[in-house]
Every structure is written in C-alpha cells, then in structure tokens.
A = this chain, B = another copy of it.
Amino acid sequence: MYEVEVKVRADHETIREQLEASDAEQVNRVEQTDIYYNAPHKDFAETDEALRLRRESRYEDDEVVDEVTVITYKGPLVDESSKTRREYETGVDDGETMDAICEAVGFEPTATVEKERERFELDGYTVSLDAVSGLGEFVEVEVEVESGVDAAREGAFDVLRKLDVDPDDQIRTSYLGMLLGAPEE
C-alpha cells in the first residue's frame, strides 16, 4: 500500500468555495495535538525515525464526539520514490500517562504540532484543510493505492487544480520539519 500525498499552502476560504462548487463531501473535523519525541541514544532527525503521540478530538456540529490517543513509530524511508516506511500504531487509554512513560524511559519531547483538520472527499481523494498553529493554512490531497503511484499523483494534481491551487507550489517538508525551522521545499 502506497500513500500519495500532496500538500500546498492555500487560503481556506477560497478552497471552501471550490469544494462546495465541486460537490465535495465533508467527512469530519478533528483537532490533533502531536507530541514528537527524540530518543536518548540516537538522533531521530538524523536516522529519519519518529515517535509520535497524537491526541485527536473529533467534532460534530462543534461538539466533541470522540477523543482518541494513538502512539506511532515511523521508521526510516525504505523506498525514496514511493515514500514507503515501516509504521506501527496503536491506541492508548491515557495520553498523559503515555507521555509520562515516554519521558520516564528517556524520550524527550522535541516539538508539539497542533492543527485543526477538516476532511472532505472529492473524486476518490481525501482533501484536508489543515490550520496549523504557528504555520498557517494548507490543503493536502491524499490517496492510498496498491500500485500506480505516478497516476495517483497526477490525479491528486488534478484535484488541486479543480480547487484553484497550483500543484507546482507543492511543499515536501513536514509540519514538524517546518516548525523545527527547515525550509519549505
């Protein structure tokens, strides 16, 4: 399974108009707070690994209907072109306790990424309007495919064009990377 993902800076007000005009369907709205940790015995920024604790609140009509916490490990890229990584993720009952365990065994929180994310469905793609604290507004177009990564990426570009966004403005840096000061590339 490959995840194709294209991210561009974009003003949400404009995109919303295009989403409505395109009959996109709203899927949900969530708030995510991600804590990223660094390991005590190596630098995850150098080894291209990540340990993340994500607390997500799901909203319906401005009310929180569900809160979940998941812990995720992402391994280094094993294939550059398809961006394939080893990934393990499981839910945990209590985010604060899990954070305390991570810190107690030596992992240091290095950054917190807070965002509001509205998900829509359009032409088989997931369109996310992300408002990220400290960084601003973005649109992300995403799909999972078994094969045909290039065609899927072209399809994501088409979705962006439909939303009046130029795919050439694509940003490859993660939100974490941007918050840690990496240039947008």
Contact = CB atoms under 8 A, between A and B. Distances in A.
Interface stretch (A6-14, A23-31, A100-108, A137-145): A100-108
A55 to B, nearest CB: 13
A37 to B, nearest CB: 9
Interface stretch (A86-94, A111-119, A157-165): A86-94
B94 A93 contact: no
A58 to B, nearest CB: 17
Interface residues of A, number: 26
Complex copy number for this chain: 2
A88 B104 contact: yes
Interface string A61-89: 00000000001110100000000001011
Contact of A90 (B72, B101, B107): B101
Contacts of A92: 71, 90-93
Q: Most B CB atoms within 10 A — which of A51, A75, A106?
A: A106
A86 B104 contact: yes
Nearest to A72: B101
A98 interface: yes
Contacts of A51: 101, 105
Interface string A17-56: 0000000000000000000000111100000010100000
Contacts of A97: 88-90
24 contacts: A39-B40, A40-B41, A41-B41, A41-B106, A49-B104, A51-B101, A51-B105, A71-B101, A73-B100, A73-B101, A73-B104, A75-B104, A88-B100, A88-B101, A89-B97, A90-B93, A90-B94, A90-B97, A90-B98, A90-B101, A91-B92, A91-B93, A91-B94, A92-B92
